[in-house]
Structure 1
Amino acid sequence: MTSTLSPAETDRAENGEEAVLTPATLQALADGFAADPRAVLAQNAVTRAGLEQVAVNHARQVSISTTVSHRLDDWTVANQKKSGRCWLFAALNLFRFETRKQLGVKTFEFSQNHAMFWDKLERVNYFLTDVIGTAGRPADDRLVTFLLAEVMGDGGQWNMAMNVFRKHGVVPKEAMPETESSSATAVMNRSLRTLLRRAARDLRDLVATGADEQALAAAREAVVADAYRILSIHLGTPPSSFDWQWRDDEGENHQVGRLTPQDFFRLYVSVPVDEYVCLVDDPRPEHPKGHPLTIEHLGNVIGGEPVLYLNTEVELMKKLAMDAIVAGEPVWFGCDVAQQMLRTDGLWAADLLDLEGVYGTELAMSKEDRVRYGESLMTHAMLLTGVDVVDGVPRRWRVENSWGDEHGDKGFFTMDDSWFNEYVFEVAVRRSALPEPLQAALAEPPLALPAWDPMGALA
């Protein structure tokens, strides 16, 4: 009789007899746990208080001062709420640092909703172009399944944010305020994903039946129009122009008149976005330091800049970030935010939570191994607004988060420098601050990593 087992099932059937979890094995596990007083104590504590409260290294927690020698922030934090727009919030927070001075106000926000609207629409068009370009591959091809699985998330990267701002400009928050869906994107994103997966089916069918470029373009444009309608229903219609007037903190009224978003970007964003480059710490040795990297199929605006990284040592990233803050400029960065964090206290340190002590199990991995085996990648972007410097070396960092003002120091967090080493992956700095060899390296052809590489994770 012919076996109907898959190769993996056959291997297990032939070689895994001793690996079966028998009743005797399970009983031995239960008996062993009950006989271990430390395990029982940990169970009693964690089931009542939660893992974070039990695992916190109290001595480490209280050793982390929240004061820093160089601090730039004197404003209130923003709140991305139930959305993944941190990368846009962090970029707009960087912009508003100088814009507030220009306007003579302490409190000002750009519209994050406006930025998200255009990123979403551009990303629809980008996705559909990828669908047509991969239509000759089978539907279960790894790239095709990856593109379909990852479609229409909220996250992004520095270059993607700059693509949106260069093309679509920016507006003050009052010109396109938050909506229910901009602050809680799950329902809107689900509808957009359904639209785009259906469109992927239809476009692939058109290619399979020999449709010409004109027919494909018409089908793509129809989907873009549908997406625009959905986005407008959820987020509001972005203004083509708006009346701009403000009152500064001295009480003086300033009346400018009608501006386009592109006008507002040109007049009120003084950050020279074209001068910035993203440094990353990719710890895998097959990706050499001092060499540019890019990620295939990662982007949002057709014709915009690709996502480009320069792979460098983390010590250089820290030095350039420290120098920028000391010189008076905050720094956009990307990290693996949830690792070794006390959210309520607003603290990060590499040894802040003693999980191994609670579980009695070894969990430590190197940064390289965490990246290689899926344990760590970029999940969040924020703004470095302060640094504590001792003898020319950073000791801790002050961070503007975008989670509202309920945690940490009214929404500002403190990062021990040990955490930067382990969990920060990316900083955006001025090209001119790089050593000459690294400036020259930016002209080299980048190493293209596949779409699913961890360095392609969206903050």
Structure 2
Amino acid sequence: IYKILVYSVGEPPAKFDWAYRDDDKKYHKEVGITPQDFFKKYVGWDLDNYVSTINAPTDDKPYNHVYTVELLGNVVGGRQVRHLNLEINDFKSLAVKQLQSGEAVWFGSDVVKSSDRKIGIMDTKIYDLEGLFNTDFSMTKAERLDYVESMMDHAMVITGVDLDENGNPLKWKVENSWGEKVGTKGYFVMSDDWFNEFVYQLVINKNLLSDELKETFDKESKQPKVLAPWDPMGALA
């Protein structure tokens, strides 16, 4: 596999050159920088401070426990993927807290459901399929997962949230990766109902977890429950 990849895309570089212009149009150039040094200089995140949380309301995944997926992961010696399953209100509360702290939220969802990529709207009522076909298509989130009618298929970033007077989310601002020709210059609006139904994974700063959830994650991460390779919580990675 390594040989085929090298033939196709080249030997992974030990060092590389990189040039860019900053916001003031000033030119900068890095010569002979390593990937690790690039990460330390331009990114600098401590990824150990982040945890993967999920909302999977199926009977095989009780809330407030940690799960992993068999055979998931593509980095030799890399960190095992571990998901902390949370009830939807706790799940959303962490997303709001992270946004309020000034940090965007990486998330995984079923982006093709009830969405329009041209106008950039994700909402459960965007299409009236039941009215068109005079048929009840309703399923719970758990039923869609159990019957593989839905799963994570795309990652995006939540960059904002609109809250009501009681602090409850009404809609969310989403930055997609499909370029500026979709949505509003690449940004989408996600209704809170859509979040409830089709958002499955959030990457959250560990400092935002309650002490109880931190303790649960640290304890159970050493030996998480292993899900089957085809479990929908492993579909995105």
TM-score normalized with structure 1 length: 0.49
Match of 1:401 in 2: 176
- Deviations along 1:320-356, whole A, 9 cap, x unmatched? 1112112211110000111111121110112221111
Give the aligned length.
233
Counterpart CA distance in 1 for 2:9 and 2:187 is 28
Match of 2:40 in 1: 266
Counterpart CA distance in 2 for 1:306 and 1:453 is 16
Shift of 1:376: 1.0
Output aligned runs, 1:44-443, within 5 Å: 227-391=1-165, 392-442=167-217, 443=219
**SS, match of residue 161 in structure 2:** strand
Q: Structure 1 318/228 Cα, relative in aligned 2: closer, same or farther at 3 Å?
A: same
Q: Which has the higher strand share?
A: 2
Shift of 1:256: 4.5
| Structure whose CA Rg is larger | 1
**SS, match of residue 262 in structure 1:** helix
Shift of 1:449: 0.9
- Deviations along 1:186-228, whole A, 9 cap, x unmatched? xxxxxxxxxxxxxxxxxxxxxxxxxxxxxxxxxxxxxxxxx33
Shift of 1:244: 4.1
Q: What amino acid sits opposite 1:386 in the alignment?
A: G
CA RMSD in angstroms, aligned pairs only? 1.7
Q: Percent identity?
A: 45
Q: Structure 1 401/253 Cα, relative in aligned 2: closer, same or farther at 3 Å?
A: closer
**SS, match of residue 310 in structure 1:** strand
Counterpart CA distance in 2 for 1:372 and 1:253 is 53
Q: What amino acid sits opposite 1:317 in the alignment?
A: F
Return the match for 1:451 from 217, 229, 234. Answer: 229
Q: Structure 1: which 5+ runs fail to align?
A: 1-226
Shift of 1:317: 1.8
Q: Structure 1 288/247 Cα, relative in aligned 2: closer, same or farther at 3 Å?
A: same
Q: What amino acid sits opposite 1:269 in the alignment?
A: V
Shift of 1:251: 4.1
Q: What amino acid sits opposite 2:60 in the alignment?
A: E
Shift of 1:390: 1.8
Q: Which has the higher helix share?
A: 1
**SS, match of residue 388 in structure 1:** strand
Q: Structure 1 229/351 Cα, relative in aligned 2: closer, same or farther at 3 Å?
A: same
Shift of 1:385: 1.2
Q: Structure 2: which 5+ runs fail to align?
A: none
